[in-house]
Structure 1
Amino acid sequence: MSVHPSAIIEDGAQVDPSASVGPWTLIEAGAIVGPDCVIESGVRLYSGTRLGPRNRVCHGATLGSAPQDLGFTPERAKPLTIGSDNCFREYVNISRGIKSEAGTRIGSRNYFMAYSHAGHDSVVGDDNILANTATLAGHVEVAHRCFISGQVAVHQFARIGAYTMIGGLTGVSKDVPPYVIANGQRAVIIGLNLVGLKRNGFSAEQRARIKAVYRLIFRSGRRLAEGLAAASHQYPGEETDQITAFIRASERGVTGFA
């Protein structure tokens, strides 16, 4: 294990021998650092933070800090659990949990750019990118392979569907369904995330099905329940199931088209 002499690893912290720890970093008791992690300078890993293998945590990042919730007390603390192969750039902040037993959960292969933030009890899946200063409030759910642009603010309890792109400076107050681009001071859908879908191997047939499903649900003049039923009947397939299940599960309401 490579640990700079100025780093502090408290008794009770678990740091894998293959990990490296840079100068002026503090790893609190109760934190776990997995194999081949790189913890750079000035990082603070709070108690209850669990890092899987091959994560990189850059200068000034703080992982597992106390939730920004006025009701938080230390005895109510829940963990921050992080998968593998994530990158947390400079000054990223992720809060530990407070209300859900599993706490805050970050999957694998995510890229958090500088100053981005995930609030308490958020759940972030795999292969997502959060650009500079993108902000997830508490209890936000992000699926997988999403791109959340700079200075985006996502309201607490909102959900972001898979393969979605959120444009910069957007305020997301409702759930954003899969495969779309959302943009605006209050987010609206402005089209499908066609570039992202192509890059992720969606065929022309799949993209056409997604387009047809959204047109039927949002543009046909049907009531929402009728549109969902018609989409499942007319365009059966995995993408249709993903879209209709996401919308049916929404409690905040779903972002619509411009």
Structure 2
Amino acid sequence: MIHPTALVDAKAQLADDVEVGPFSVIGPEVTIGAGSVIGPHVVIKGPTVLGERTRIFQFASVGEDCQDKKYAGEPTRLVMGDDNVVREGVTLHRGTVQDRGETTIGSRNLFMAYVHVGHDCVVGNDCILANQVTLAGHVVLGDHAILGGLAAVHQFCHFGEHAMAGGGSIITKDTPAFVMINGNPAEARGLNLVGLKRRGFSRDAINALSSAYKLVYRQGLTVEQAVSEMRSRFDLPEVTTFADSIERSTRGIVR
């Protein structure tokens, strides 16, 4: 299962059925779960934990030292869940001791070719990052987030669950849950209605979110006024999630 040209450190822990392709290098303190396939010319550096059924394609660099100039070789980590797909040339960096000390990635995510995930990022579950998406350090992506090709997210930004960014978007502020954004700088373009319908959100939930969106973006209210109004008018968990994603913003929201 391990190609004879691959270099796997004796201190790495690989499940019995893990496949490792030609010329790949797996360092110490790397753990790889069952059913995983590591392609050719992949470099994985620890401390790194990869869940079950991870698929990594050629020339990816996973768990490498981060590019933060404050990083001084501390044993920070990268931890990934199950069923992630990491395509060609992707770079996933470990954390820094100045923050969480860990870059955390959930399950069932797709990282298309040449995506970069910077230090201390948190990526949820079921996210799609299209070709050449770049996440600076400390970025948080909610579940089911979708970023189009060449989108770039500024450090410390939060990108809410079920939100979507069009290709080439430059994102320097927080994106509320369920919102679709695009542009440079990115601006709100509406709700991610197609995504919500595909994921089975009810008509009532979508209608309530549409009304809540208008309070924030169409009625000329302050953010605080809009959030207060939506909380008083709607008693649905989806609207609560939308409101929470706005209230926790520290950088201001995309508008």
Same-fold call, TM > 0.5? Answer: yes
Mapped contact 1:5–1:23 kept (Cα < 8 A): yes
Quote the residue 1:96 is aligned against: 94
Quote the residue 2:79 is aligned against: 81
1: CA distance between counterparts of 2:18 and 2:101?
25
Quote the residue 1:67 is aligned against: 66
Amino acid paired to 1:145: H
Quote the residue 2:175 is aligned against: 176
Quote the residue 1:45 is aligned against: 44
Amino acid paired to 2:237: E
Please report how far the alpha carbon of residue 235 of structure 1 lies from its aligned counterpart in structure 2 after TM superposition.
1.6
Aligned residues between the structures: 254
Change (3 A) 1:184 1:101: closer
Quote the residue 1:237 is aligned against: 236
Please report how far the alpha carbon of residue 194 of structure 1 lies from its aligned counterpart in structure 2 after TM superposition.
0.8
Quote the residue 1:36 is aligned against: 35
Mapped contact 1:149–1:167 kept (Cα < 8 A): yes
Query: Structure 2: 5+ residue runs without aligned partners?
Result: none
Quote the residue 1:19 is aligned against: 18
Mapped contact 2:191–2:213 kept (Cα < 8 A): no
SS at match of 1:81: strand
Quote the residue 1:115 is aligned against: 114
Mapped contact 1:78–1:100 kept (Cα < 8 A): no
Mapped contact 2:81–2:105 kept (Cα < 8 A): yes
Percent identity (aligned)? 38
Quote the residue 1:252 is aligned against: 251
Deviations 1:22-42 (A, max 9, x none): 000000011111111100100
Mapped contact 1:16–1:35 kept (Cα < 8 A): yes
Cα RMSD over matched residues? 0.9
Amino acid paired to 1:135: T
Deviations 1:215-242 (A, max 9, x none): 1123222222122111101122111111
Matches within 5 A, 1:136-215: 136-215=135-214
2: CA distance between counterparts of 1:122 and 1:224?
26
Query: Structure 1: 5+ residue runs without aligned partners?
Result: none
2: CA distance between counterparts of 1:4 and 1:212?
57
2: CA distance between counterparts of 1:72 and 1:238?
40
Amino acid paired to 1:38: V
2: CA distance between counterparts of 1:152 and 1:224?
25
SS at match of 1:3: coil
2: CA distance between counterparts of 1:13 and 1:94?
18
Please report how far the alpha carbon of residue 49 of structure 1 lies from its aligned counterpart in structure 2 after TM superposition.
1.1
Amino acid paired to 1:197: L
SS at match of 1:64: strand
2: CA distance between counterparts of 1:84 and 1:120?
20
2: CA distance between counterparts of 1:47 and 1:110?
21
**TM-score, normalised to structure 1's length?**
0.96
Amino acid paired to 1:183: N
Please report how far the alpha carbon of residue 131 of structure 1 lies from its aligned counterpart in structure 2 after TM superposition.
0.3
2: CA distance between counterparts of 1:165 and 1:172?
11
1: CA distance between counterparts of 2:36 and 2:101?
22
